[in-house]
Structure 1
Amino acid sequence: MAVPSLKAQFDALLKAPSISCTQPEFDQSNMPVINLLAGWLGEMGFACDIQPIEGEPGKANLVATLGSGPGGLVLAGHTDTVPCNPEKWNFDPFALTEADGRWYGLGSCDMKGFFPLIIEAVRGYVDQPFQQPLIILATADEESSMSGARALAASGQPKARHAVIGEPTGLKPVRVHKGILMERVDIIGQAGHSSDPSLGRSALEAMHQVIAELIDLRGQWQKRWNDPLFSVPVPTMNLGCIHGGDNPNRICAKCALEFDIRPLPGMDTDELRADIQRRLELVAAQRQVEIAYKPLFPGVPPLDTPANAPLVQACEQLTGHSAGSVAFATEGPYFNQAGMQTLILGPGDIDQAHQPDEYLAMDRIQPTVDILKQLIERFCLSAEPTPTT
C-alpha cells in the first residue's frame, strides 16, 4: 500500500468521523482513524502497536515506533474531535475543502491535521539509521475524558525523553498550562411547608453558605498563588450551574452546584479538593444537611516543563519564540508523568478550534513540516548525550 499524499491523508482523516463526547448518543469510535494511521505508518516501516483502552469499547491508542534506544522523540496528537453542528458550517465538516488559502474540516486545526504533517516530515528519513527512536503517538478521547493519555501514563508508555504535542498554538512553543477540575456538590435537606422554617432544612440556604465558602477559598488561593506567565495569573474557580427546589412555597430539599477550577502549576489537586471537603463538612454540620462532593471527571493537572529542558530550548531556537503559556488544558501533564519533557507546539490557532468552519491555514503547513524535520534530525538521527546526575 503506497502512502497517500499529504493532502489525501488530510482528506481521509477528516472523512473518518471520530467524535468523542460525554453524552453517549454523540460518542463515536476512533478506530477508523487509528487504522488509517497504522496502515500508513506501517507501510513506512514503523512498528505499530494498537492498544485498546480498557473499559472503553471502540477506543484505542496507537504507538508507532521507528528505531530504538533510551531517548528519542514522541510526536503526538489526539485522534478525536468535539461534536459539531453541520448546519452551521459553510463546508462539509467531514471532508477536506480548500478555499481562501485554508483547509477546512472538523479536526483540521484540532488536531487530526497534525498527523499528515508528521508523516510528510518523516518521509525522507525512513531509510536513514535512527540513533534514537521516533515515536508517533495517536490517542483517544482527549476531548472528553482523556482516557487515552491516562491509560498511557498508568502503563508508563511510551519510553522516550522528549515529546511534542501538536495542539493549536500558532507555531509558538508552550511549556506551561493550567490544569482543570470539574466538580459537583449535592446537598440533601428536608422539604417542608414554607410557612414554618422549622419543618424543614433548606438545601438552597445551605448551598448559599457553600457558595460563600467556595468564593472565600478562591480568594485565599488567589492571594497565595500567582504566575505572571499567564494572562490570568491566578487560579480561577467558575460557579457554572446550579439546580434546586421545585416550588416557591416549599422548603428546598435538594440543590446541586457544578463548578470548575483551573489550578496553576505547583498547586496540588488533591490538596485543593481536601480544602473544599473540609469546608463542606463544616456547612453540613451547621445546617444539618447531607453534602456529597465528587469530581465530574478525574481532572487534568497543570503542565510545567522546565524552561531549560533541551526540547524547550530547541523549539525556541527553531521557531524564534520564547516558550510561553496557554489557558487550555492538554494531555501534556500525563506525558510528563510518563517521564517525558513535553512541549505543546502545533500549526493551528486555538481560536479556530471547536468552531464552525474550523480550518488550518495553508501557509502554516510547510513551516510546520520544516520544524518537525529539524526536531527529527536533532533528537532521532543524532546520538543523544547521556544525561548527567
Structure 2
Amino acid sequence: MSQLPNFKQSLTQLIACPSISSTQASWDQGNLEVIQLLGTWFEQLGFSIDIQKVPGAHKTSDNKYNLLAKLGSGEGGLLLAGHSDTVPFDERRWQSDPMGVVDKDDKFYGLGTCDMKGFFAFILQACKGLDAKQLKKPLYILATADEETTMAGARFFAQSQAAKPDVAIIGEPTNLVPVMMHKGHMSHRISVQGQSGHSSKPSLGVNAIEIMYEVIGQLINLQEKFRLNYKNEAFDVPAPTLNFGAIKGGDNANRICGHCDLDIDLRSLPGMSDDELLHWLSESLKSLAEKYPGRISFEELHPSSPSFEQEKSTNNEECFVSIAEEISGHTCCAVNYATEAPYIQQLGCQTIVLGPGSINQAHQPNEFLAHSEIDKTDKLLIAMIQRYCL
C-alpha cells in the first residue's frame, strides 16, 4: 500500500487533474482522472468505492463521473459532498500556473483550491486513522460532476438514492459559516425574429433590435415588480433578481437587424417555483407577443437549479442547523448563489452548505485557499464525524 499524501500533496495532485466543465465545447473536459484519484485514496482508507458514469451531463463531453465512498455500515450517518469540476480560466490574468499549486504568502494558489477541490484534501486528512469497526453509523464521501454547468452529477445522485444519511454537508466555500438557505437559479434566452433588409428602406424590414428594446423595457418593469412583491430579509439582496447577461443581434450598420438574442438570469427566493417565475416572465411579454405575433420566443439555456432552505428541526429531532452553529461557532446565514444542496436534500437528510475558503475567491484569477483554514476545517470535520458516525 502506497503512503497517502499529506494535505499539501493531496491538494497539489487534485489541482493537477484537469476537470473543467463549461458550456463551451472548447473548454469542457471530463473528470474521470480526479474521480479515480479520490477513489484510490479513500479505498486505501478502507472505504468501499462506487464510481458511476453520469447520464445527461453536458453535451460537449460524456466523460463525466460521480464517486460515492462509504466507510462503515448501518443506517443514517454523515455525507460530506462536493463537486470535482472547476470553471474555465484566463491564463493571462493568473500570476502562476492555474493547474499547479503555489504556496506563497500563507496561501495555496491554484484553480479549484477554494472552489472546491480543496475540500476533498481536507476530508482525506480528517479520515486518516478512522476505523470502520468503531463507526456506529456510516460516513459517505460524494464527489460529483458538472456542478459548474448542469449540476447533472447531483441530479443523478439524488435520483439514484444511493445513500440515505441523517445529515449532509456541502463543502462549498463559506468561510466555515453554515448556510441554511440560498436562491434558485434559472437562465433563458429571449429571441426576437425580425426581417432583414437595407437600412435605407426601414419600412421593408422589421428591426429585431428595436423590438428587443421594448422587451428590455418590459423586463425592467418586471425587475421592479419583483422588488415590490417579494422579499426575504435573510438575504443581503432580499428580492428575486433578473439580470441581463448577454445580448447579440445584427451583422452590419447598413442592414436592418433580422435577429436578436438576449440571455437573462433569474434568481428566485425559497418558496418560489420555476412555474411562478416563468408565469411572471410570460405575462411581462404578453402584450409584445400580441403586438409582434410569432416574433418573440424564449427557451431555457440549461436546466434550472432550485432554491434551498433547511428549516430548523422541532420536536425531538436533533437539529442539524443548531449543531452546525455550535460546532462552527457561527450563526447560520443565507446566500445569493446556488449549490447542489437542494438535490442532496432530496435524499431525505438535513442539509447545510459549509466549507473552507471564501466565495469571493471562487471563479477568480489567482484563486487561493489560506493556510489559516487548515486547522479550523480539520477540527470541524473531525467534530462532525465524531458526532454523527462514532
Q: Structure 1 length as normaliser, TM-score?
A: 0.92
Q: Residues 252 and 25 (structure 1 numbering): CA distance in 2 closer, same or farther, change over 3 Å?
A: closer
- How many residues align? The count is 381
Residue 17 of structure 1 aligns with which residue? 18
Residue 387 of structure 2 aligns with which residue? 378
Q: What is the letter of the counterpart of residue 184 of structure 1?
A: R
Q: How does 1:110-125 map to 2 (within 5 A)?
A: 110-125=115-130
Structure 1 spans left out of the alignment, 5+ residues: 382-389
Q: Distance in 1 between matches of 2:153 and 2:40?
A: 20
Q: Could you tell me whether the CA contact under 8 Å between 1:335 and 1:341 is conserved in 2?
A: no
Displacement of 1:278 in angstroms is 3.8
Match of 2:74 among 69, 75, 87: 69
Q: Distance in 2 between matches of 1:159 and 1:321?
A: 27
Q: Distance in 2 between matches of 1:209 and 1:86?
A: 39
Provide the identity percentage: 46
Q: Distance in 2 between matches of 1:164 and 1:171?
A: 11
Residue 53 of structure 1 aligns with which residue? 54
Residue 283 of structure 1 aligns with which residue? 288
Q: Distance in 2 between matches of 1:52 and 1:364?
A: 32
Q: 121-130 vs 20-29, which deviates more?
A: 121-130
Residue 310 of structure 1 aligns with which residue? 319
1:184-225: CA deviations, max 9, x gaps?
A: 011112334556655333323322222222222222222121
Residue 211 of structure 2 aligns with which residue? 206
Residue 229 of structure 2 aligns with which residue? 224
Q: Distance in 2 between matches of 1:221 and 1:69?
A: 47
Displacement of 1:3 in angstroms is 2.2
1:139-176: CA deviations, max 9, x gaps?
A: 11111221111111222343222110111111111111
Q: Could you tell me whether the CA contact under 8 Å between 2:71 and 2:132 is conserved in 1?
A: no
Determine whether 1:191 maps to 2:200: no
Q: Distance in 2 between matches of 1:21 and 1:171?
A: 27
Match of 2:104 among 99, 104, 109: 99
Local SS of the residue matching 1:163:
strand
RMSD: 1.9
Local SS of the residue matching 1:124:
coil
Q: Could you tell me whether the CA contact under 8 Å between 1:307 and 1:323 is conserved in 2?
A: no
Q: Residues 3 and 178 (structure 1 numbering): CA distance in 2 closer, same or farther, change over 3 Å?
A: same
Residue 179 of structure 1 aligns with which residue? 184
Residue 332 of structure 2 aligns with which residue? 323
Q: Could you tell me whether the CA contact under 8 Å between 1:190 and 1:202 is conserved in 2?
A: yes
Structure 2 spans left out of the alignment, 5+ residues: none
Q: Could you tell me whether the CA contact under 8 Å between 1:203 and 1:289 is conserved in 2?
A: no
Local SS of the residue matching 2:67:
strand
Q: Distance in 1 between matches of 2:172 and 2:56?
A: 26
Q: Distance in 2 between matches of 1:363 and 1:249?
A: 59
Q: Distance in 2 between matches of 1:184 and 1:322?
A: 38
Residue 139 of structure 2 aligns with which residue? 134
Residue 376 of structure 2 aligns with which residue? 367
Q: Structure 2 length as normaliser, TM-score?
A: 0.92
Residue 35 of structure 1 aligns with which residue? 36
Residue 347 of structure 1 aligns with which residue? 356
Residue 385 of structure 1 aligns with which residue? none
Determine whether 1:6 maps to 2:7: yes
1:99-142: CA deviations, max 9, x gaps?
A: 22112221111111111211211223224422221110001111
Residue 260 of structure 2 aligns with which residue? 255
Displacement of 1:69 in angstroms is 2.8
Q: What is the letter of the counterpart of residue 239 of structure 1?
A: F
